[in-house]
């Protein structure tokens, strides 16, 4: 029997996060293609949300461009969010140049989003900055590890302390037929735009995927989604796991140390990952948004049929949940704010 409420409590501490009257609302549905899969970047100044689709069979106007991706395409959508009390949204398809098979994304400034460009069989991809206003100009930030092309950059976060860009690079692209044979391990990287230095920061993953900082940026959380491979095969014996690392400084440079298993998703994979201002860890899993305490205790879930690949915080307890063909908004306690924006 399905639960009577989408808000499931495993620990009483989650009640303060949910608030007295949590709500889950469907904002938009698109059955033509899975428009709401990754990114999830909230731009507060104009109340918009940027999302990227899952891969789908290229539409007629996309066939030529999709020749290097085995006939697959990905769409970037700018969602104009509703005003308070409304659920009416406007979805605008955006097709900027220079972003090939977009995936994850993050706020880069008040006027820009940093997108993961997975690339194609003919282009390397990398990290691309895009203006959030027309004509949506783009600029390439980094495209390789000293000449060795990335596998298929997946998710990204930017440090508030020094502006460094941390990102994951699994080999999903090759398995899905959109990229050539990998030339790098499945790893996590840090790129410093101020110096153009790039470093491999963590390895030993099956498929590194989501990445985020704790509010004080002393901890980095990275998901390993090896449970599912790019060809769709799954294996319950493979990792469906969140790892935590401490950020230590040696010789003036950050290193990830004290790797530890933080949590394991009981349903599907922990894909996108974020922290709230209290240090709790949220991840999009096979049954919706799972919430853990900073100590790794499962506090609760926001259950969404079909699960959640990614999500992001909005204002005052809003969480926008990407559910493939559907976009949901959960409204929690006003004090439940995302650590990334703190609003």
For residue 109 the two structure tokens come to 């400034």
The confidence score (pLDDT) of residue 65 equals 82
Return all residues near 15 (Cβ < 8 A) that are at least 6 apart.
9
Strand-pair partners of 73: 56
What was the pLDDT predicted at 86? 79
3 has pLDDT over 60:
no
**What percentage of the chain has pLDDT greater than the value 70?**
99
Phi, psi at 117, each rounded to 5°? -105, 110
Quickly state the pLDDT bin for 339 (edges 50, 70, 90): very high
Cβ contact 245:222 at 8 Å: yes
**What average pLDDT does this structure show over 172-194?**
97
pLDDT for res 64: 82
Rounded mean pLDDT of 264-278?
98
pLDDT 10s digits, 158-168: 999 999 999 99
Beta strand pairing call for 326-331 and 318-323:
antiparallel
For the chain, give the mean pLDDT: 96
For 140, the 3-state DSSP assignment is strand
Q: CA dist 67 to 58, 127, 179, 218, Å?
A: 9, 22, 12, 43
Percentage of residues of the chain with pLDDT beyond 90: 94
Q: How far apart are CA 276 and CA 288, in angstroms?
A: 17
Total count of residues recorded for the chain: 343
Is residue 264 within 8 Å of residue 282, measured between CB atoms?
no
Contact 242, 222 (CB under 8 A): yes
Position 87 scores a pLDDT of 84
Question: Tell me, what's the pLDDT at 75?
Answer: 98
Are 188 and 245 spatial neighbours (Cβ–Cβ below 8 Å)? no
Residue 1 confidence (pLDDT):
40
Query: Once rounded to an integer, what is the mean pLDDT over residues 48-70?
Result: 93
Q: What does the alpha-carbon distance between residue 342 and residue 208 come to, in Å, rounded to a whole number?
A: 26
Reply yes or no on whether the pLDDT at 195 is more than 70.
yes
Instruction: Please give the average per-residue pLDDT across 119-136, as a whole number.
Output: 97
Is the predicted pLDDT of residue 52 greater than 80, yes or no?
yes
- SS3 category, 243: strand
Q: Which residue has the higher pLDDT, 153 or 2?
A: 153
Domains of the chain: 7-331 (2.120.10.30)
DSSP symbol at 292: E
Tell me 173's DSSP state: H
């Amino acid at each position: 029997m399905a639960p009577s409420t989408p808000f499931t409590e495993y620990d009483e501490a989650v009640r303060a996060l949910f608030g007295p009257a949590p709500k889950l609302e469907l904002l938009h549905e698109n059955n033509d293609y899975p428009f709401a899969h990754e990114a999830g970047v909230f731009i507060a100044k104009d109340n918009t949300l940027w999302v990227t689709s899952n891969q789908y069979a290229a539409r007629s106007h996309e066939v030529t461009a999709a020749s290097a991706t085995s006939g697959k395409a990905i769409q970037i959508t700018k969602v104009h969010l509703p005003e308070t009390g409304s659920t009416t949204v406007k979805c605008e398809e955006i097709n900027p140049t220079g972003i090939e098979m977009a995936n994850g994304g993050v706020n880069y400034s008040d006027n820009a989003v940093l997108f993961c460009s997975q690339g194609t069989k003919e282009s390397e991809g990398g990290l691309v900055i895009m203006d959030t206003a027309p004509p949506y100009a783009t600029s390439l930030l980094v495209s390789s590890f000293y000449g060795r092309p990335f596998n298929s950059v997946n998710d990204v976060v930017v440090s508030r302390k020094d502006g460094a860009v941390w990102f994951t690079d699994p080999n999903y692209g090759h398995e899905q037929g959109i990229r050539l044979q990998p030339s790098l391990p499945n790893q996590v990287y840090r790129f410093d735009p101020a110096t153009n230095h790039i470093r491999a920061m963590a390895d030993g993953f099956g498929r590194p995927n989501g990445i985020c900082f704790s509010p004080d940026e002393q901890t980095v959380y990275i998901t390993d989604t090896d449970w599912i491979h790019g060809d769709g095969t799954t294996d319950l014996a493979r990792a469906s796991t969140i790892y935590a690392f401490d950020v230590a400084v040696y010789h003036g440079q950050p290193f990830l140390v004290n790797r530890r298993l933080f949590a394991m998703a009981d349903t599907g994979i922990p894909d996108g990952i974020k922290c709230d201002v209290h240090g709790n860890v949220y991840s999009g899993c096979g049954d919706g948004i799972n919430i853990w305490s900073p100590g790794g205790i499962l506090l609760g879930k926001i259950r969404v049929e079909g699960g959640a690949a990614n999500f992001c915080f909005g204002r005052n307890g809003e969480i926008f949940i990407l559910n493939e063909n559907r976009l949901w908004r959960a409204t929690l306690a006003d004090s439940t704010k995302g650590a990334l924006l703190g609003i």
